[in-house]
A and B are shown apart, each in its own frame.
Chain A
Amino acid sequence: MSTGPVEVPLPNVFCWFLGKCQFYHSSAFYIIPPGLDVTILWYPEEEDKVQLIFALSFGRPRNYLTGEVVISDEVGFWHRGSGMKLHWDPLTESIFQIVYPHITPATKENPFEVRFVNRTNTIVIMDVSIWIFEYHKKDYEEFLEFTRGFVNFFRLFGRAKTVEEAEAILKKLVGG
């Protein structure tokens, strides 16, 4: 099962503080029969919403019939989303024992895609929580603007090789 804190990206805190987005998580059980290979799409039902996924956390995958923990690279899921390459997540300890960070926006037209595969002889049940900041699309654009400013600010200071150079950049910006 996932352990450790869910770390919230700072720009999201800013938007939440301004009332520009709402935070929640969605928890679901997935029961995966043997031989299954299927892709599901996960997205906000409302067209004007963006759901920015910033973490996943997992319960222990278990045998549906006996409750025994299942650790296997023969069962798991492929997934991809905006800015996230398609990749395979086996139900092995290194996957489900961490809080799995993401920065993946999902919209109705650009959903989060998950392909479940089970090559074992076991019905596997797992619970997954998906941690989300949800925006109206216009507020998401504002969030991107803020993020761009945040990145550009630190890129500018990244040009300084010494504290003195950084001070000079700051003085040039604000005067004095």
Chain B
Amino acid sequence: MSFKGDKEIEEALKQGKLVVIIGKCDAKIKIKGPEDKVKVIVRE
């Protein structure tokens, strides 16, 4: 699976952030890190 070209991801990577992509069904799980270093993206 490629996420290349995804603007939300590319922007977070430009800022040097860890990008975590989880499915919506995982929403009962919390993934938390410092906002300036971690971007959590919940996808359908």
Contact = CB atoms under 8 A, between A and B. Distances in A.
A42 interface: yes
A43 B18 CA distance: 18
B26 A44 contact: no
Interface string A28-47: 11111101101111111110
A57 interface: no
Contact of A40 (B4, B23, B28, B38): B38
B3 A31 contact: yes
Main secondary structure of the interface of B (DSSP, over half): mixed
B30 A44 contact: yes
Contacts of A151: none
Contacts of A29: 1, 3, 19-22
A51 interface: yes
Interface of B: 1-4, 9, 13, 16-23, 26-34, 37-38
Interface of A: 26-33, 35-36, 38-46, 49, 51, 64-65, 67, 108, 116, 123, 125, 127
Given A29-B22, A39-B33, 13 more contacts: A31-B3, A31-B9, A31-B19, A33-B18, A36-B18, A40-B20, A40-B32, A45-B27, A45-B28, A45-B29, A49-B28, A64-B3, A67-B2
